[in-house]
Structure 1
């Protein structure tokens, strides 16, 4: 959902619901992947009893989900930092551009005034 521009999704209840659903699906996929990997690990250790395999699976999945959560939080923090850095840089560039345009406009106006006064002097 976009507003027709390249500014990203339109904020609102629909996009919030879509983002939450995407998060739930992503978490479910990570849990499924962790279970699959734990099962492959248990299959590689045929001497484990059923209880040991279940315990190993539970610990492995919990560990993987903690790691995923930590990486996700670190990614969010970094994205926030980058957003603030880019916004500050954009504001500096915008201020510099406006200052330069103001200087050029002043120079142009001064030149136009000088030419006008020179023409008025020549005409008299």
Structure 2
């Protein structure tokens, strides 16, 4: 059975990428509107190159974010494991101290 979470993430990623492509096309169109002297062929070439550059920029940006996200995840996972070990050690130490106090109280009651 496929992992539904991964499938949903893939669909979301696809939809976000398609939205980015559409925004790049809109920005390219607006850019070319400011250049009314372009011929139809020139306009299509400028729009194509503009979109290609936007896609490359966006892809680079997303790759940097993904790498940083993975780095932060590893860092936080390490910090969480260390914190969890310290908490378990503190709980075990507290339980040992409580057991010691109970044992000393029992010895004190038995001596009287």
After TM superposition, the score normalised by the length of structure 2 is: 0.92
Query: How far does residue 120 in structure 1 lie from its aligned partner after superposition?
Result: 0.7
Q: Aligned equivalents of 2:53 and 2:12: distance in 1?
A: 22
Q: Aligned equivalents of 2:20 and 2:30: distance in 1?
A: 15
Residues 61-88 of structure 1: CA distance to partner in whole angstroms, max 9, x if unpaired?
0000001101111111111111111111
Query: How far does residue 34 in structure 1 lie from its aligned partner after superposition?
Result: 0.6
The answer to which structure, 1 or 2, has the higher relative contact order (CA under 8 A, 6+ apart) is: 2
Match for residue 54 of structure 2 among 64, 75, 87:
64
Which blocks of at least 5 consecutive residues in structure 2 are unaligned?
none
Partner residue in 2 for 1:8: none
Partner residue in 2 for 1:46: 36
Q: Aligned equivalents of 2:40 and 2:86: distance in 1?
A: 68
Residues 21-80 of structure 1: CA distance to partner in whole angstroms, max 9, x if unpaired?
222221111111111111101111111111111111111000000011011111111111
Which blocks of at least 5 consecutive residues in structure 1 are unaligned?
1-11
CA RMSD of aligned residues (A): 1.5
Query: How far does residue 117 in structure 1 lie from its aligned partner after superposition?
Result: 0.7
After TM superposition, the score normalised by the length of structure 1 is: 0.84
Q: Does 1:28 align with 2:18?
A: yes
Query: How far does residue 16 in structure 1 lie from its aligned partner after superposition?
Result: 2.8
Partner residue in 2 for 1:89: 79
After alignment, is 59-68 or 44-53 more displaced? 44-53
Residues 99-120 of structure 1: CA distance to partner in whole angstroms, max 9, x if unpaired?
1111111111111111111111
Higher helix fraction (1 or 2): 2
